[in-house]
Structure 1
Amino acid sequence: MAGFFPGLPLAVALSGGADSTALLIACHARWPNQVVALHVHHGLQAVADDFERHCRELCLQLGVPLRVRRVDARALQGESPEDAARRARYQALQELAGPVRDIALAQHADDQVETLLLALSRGAGVPGLAAMPTCRVRGGIAWHRPLLSVAADEVRAWLRARGVAWVEDPSNADLRYTRNRIRRQLLPALQQVFPQFRDTFTRSSRHAAQAAELLQELAALDLAQVGTPPCVAALQALSQARQANVLRHWLLCSHGASASAAQLAELQRQIGACTTRGHRIDIKVGIGHVRREGLYLTWYN
C-alpha cells in the first residue's frame, strides 16, 4: 500500500473475502485505533451469514469497530444482478460511514484488468478505459483503492503466511458471470503470453485516465463558449471531435444523461443539418430527449 495516505479516521469496506480481510489487517496495523470496518450483508446467498460471522470474529480479534447493514440487493427489471448488488453496496457503505469521509475498497490488480477488458469488450471510450481510479471523491467521500497494484495471488499468499483465514464466495466459481470467465479462463492465458500484463494494463489505464481528465477540462472550456443550454451555431463551429466531447459533457453534467454512440452520431448529424430557422431536432438520449428550441438545444426528461 505504498503511497496510500488517506484521511483519518478511515473506514474499510469488509466483505469477509481474502482481499478485504487483508486490507483491514494492513490498515489496522498502520493506523491502530483509527480504523472502522463496514460490512454489507446482501442476503443473496446462504454464505452471506458466514461472511458476516467472519467479519465479526476478525474485528473482535483486532479490536476494530464493525458496522453492519443488511440490504435488499435484488435486481430491478432490466438491471444485472452485479449492478444491483454494487448499487446497494455503495449506498449502504456511504450510510454506514457516517461522519467518516475516507473509505478504502479492496479491489486489486486482477480486478483492474477485468474492468479494463470488460470496457474494451463493450467498445468503451477513454473514460471507460481508465478503469478504476486509485481515489475518487464522490458524494463528499474519498473512495480509495490502495491494492490496485497488488495481484490477487499476492494477497492470498500474504494471508497464508500469517495464518489468517477468509471466506470464499461460491459465486466466484459461477462461469455464467463474465468477470468469472475472464478471471478463470482469460487471465491465465494472458499470464502465459504476457507475464507482466497486470503492470502494463494498469499503466494503460493510467494513461487513459489522464486523457479523460484532459478531455473533461477541454469540454468545460468549450461548454463555457457554446453556453448552457448549448447554442447550435456555436456547436457547428467546433470540430466533430470537440463537438462530441462537449455534448457528452453537457448531457452528463447538466442532466445526468449518457448518449450511446449511435444517439450521439445522430445528434451531431442533425446539428450539422441545421441550416434553416425551422429545422427540427428531437432525438432520444438516455431516458430523455434532446430538442431544438430556437437557437439552442434543450433536454427533456
Structure 2
Amino acid sequence: MAALQRLADSQTAGEQGPVAVAYSGGADSTALLLAAWRLWPQRVCALHVNHNLQPAAADFERHVRRVCADWGIPLRVRQVRPTPAARDSLEAVAREARYAALASLAREAGASTVWLAHHRQDQVETLLLALTRGAGLPGLAGMPRHMRRHGIGFLRPWLDVDGAALRAWLDAHGVSYVDDPSNQDQRHTRNRIRHRLLPVLQESFPAFAQTFARSARHAAQAQALLEEMAQADLQAIGQPPNIRRLQALSEPRQANVLRLWLRQAGARQASEAQLQQVLRQIAACRTRGHRIHLRVGQGYLWRQGEVLLYKPDEGAAGPNL
C-alpha cells in the first residue's frame, strides 16, 4: 500500500525513539497503527484517550486493549472527563483535553512525536467546515501536517492518502475496527458535510478530494508567509505594540500583526468585527487623550500611553483566535 511508503518516508521514521500512534480503535487509527507496526514492530506504542462522552467509550477501550494485546503492541490509556465552561463548546474542550492527554502519554512512553491518522477526506471536511464559518487563511489551510502542542510534536503522515483506501485495506486483511456511532449524528455540521455534501461533490467532481486538499496546502503556504511577516512586524513595533509604529503599517499588516500579538497575549474567540473596531480605533488615535478600551474575545484591550495592552478574563486563556 502506498500509505506504507509515506510512513517510511516521513521525518519521524528517521528517529530512533518510540513511534507513538494515537489509537481510537476506529478504522483510520487502526490502519495507521498496523502500518507503523509492520514497519517498526519493536518501536511502536499505542496511545488511547477515553473521553467518557458516550456509552460506547468503554467498549472502544476494551476493543483497543484486546487488539494491542493480540498484536503485542504496548498500550497506554488515559481517562479524561472534559468539562466546558460557559461559552465553550464541548467539542473544543474535548479536543484540547485529548491533545493534552496524548502529549502526557507520549512523554511517559519516551516519544517526542504522536502520529495522528487524519487523511485526505478529513482534510476536505475541515476545509469545508472552515468555509461555513467564514474562516480566514488559518482555517482554509486545514489541518497542518506538523504541529506542536504541550511540548510534544504531532504528525499527520496521511493527509494525502485516500481514507476509503485505508478502510478497504483493513477489510481485505480481515482487520477489525470499531465504528463510532456519533459519526452518524447529523446534528453535527461535520457529519452533515460527510454524509450529505461529500457524496454530491464526489458525483459532480470526482477529483474534488485531491484538488481541495491542494488548495488547503496553498493556503497553508500563504499563512506561513503571513506568520513570518507578522513575527517581523511584531519585533519592529515592540511588545506591547507601540501605536505610532502600528499606524506606520498598512491596515492589512496591522490586522496581521495584531492577530499574532493577541494570540500570544491569550485572546480567544475574537471576532472579525472586534478586530475591525480595533483597527478603526488605532487609525483614530492621533491625540494623547484618545481613549481605547475594547472588548476583544474573552478579555479587554486598552491604550496605556503609547502602547496597547491586553488582558484575558480570568481563566479565559486558551485556544487561539
Counterpart of 2:29 (choices 1, 20, 26) is 20
In the alignment, the residues of structure 2 paired with residue 45 and residue 258 of structure 1 have an alpha-carbon distance, to the nearest angstrom, of 27
Count matched residues: 301
- 2:11 counterpart residue number: 5
Say if 2:251 is the partner of 1:240. Answer: yes
- 2:309 counterpart residue number: 298
- 2:59 counterpart residue number: 50
C-alpha displacement of 1:57: 1.6
- Which aligned pairs between 1:1-301 and structure 2 lie closer than 5 A? 1=3, 2=6, 3-6=9-12, 7=15, 8-98=17-107, 99-257=110-268, 259-301=270-312
Residues 248 and 259 in structure 1, CA contact (< 8 A), matched pair in contact too: no
Structure 2 portions without partners, runs of 5+ = 313-321
Higher mean displacement: 136-145 or 197-206: 136-145
In the alignment, the residues of structure 2 paired with residue 50 and residue 300 of structure 1 have an alpha-carbon distance, to the nearest angstrom, of 43
Residues 82 and 97 in structure 2, CA contact (< 8 A), matched pair in contact too: yes
In the alignment, the residues of structure 2 paired with residue 290 and residue 201 of structure 1 have an alpha-carbon distance, to the nearest angstrom, of 37
Structure 1 portions without partners, runs of 5+ = none
In the alignment, the residues of structure 2 paired with residue 300 and residue 92 of structure 1 have an alpha-carbon distance, to the nearest angstrom, of 28
Q: Are the structure 2 counterparts of residues 234 and 258 from structure 1 closer, same or farther at C-alpha, using a change threshold of 3 Å?
A: farther
Residues 252 and 258 in structure 1, CA contact (< 8 A), matched pair in contact too: no
> Could you tell me the TM-score, scaled by structure 2's length?
0.90
The letter of the residue matching 1:55 is V
Residues 267 and 297 in structure 2, CA contact (< 8 A), matched pair in contact too: no
Q: Are the structure 2 counterparts of residues 87 and 136 from structure 1 closer, same or farther at C-alpha, using a change threshold of 3 Å?
A: same
Q: Percent identity?
A: 54
Q: Give the root-mean-square deviation of aligned CA atoms.
A: 1.4
Q: Are the structure 2 counterparts of residues 148 and 236 from structure 1 closer, same or farther at C-alpha, using a change threshold of 3 Å?
A: same
In the alignment, the residues of structure 2 paired with residue 38 and residue 259 of structure 1 have an alpha-carbon distance, to the nearest angstrom, of 33
Cα-to-partner distance string for 1:231-285 (whole Å, 9 max, x where unaligned) = 1111111111011111111111234446311111011101111121111011111
> Could you tell me the TM-score, scaled by structure 1's length?
0.96
C-alpha displacement of 1:69: 1.2
In the alignment, the residues of structure 1 paired with residue 57 and residue 258 of structure 2 have an alpha-carbon distance, to the nearest angstrom, of 43
Residues 23 and 30 in structure 2, CA contact (< 8 A), matched pair in contact too: yes
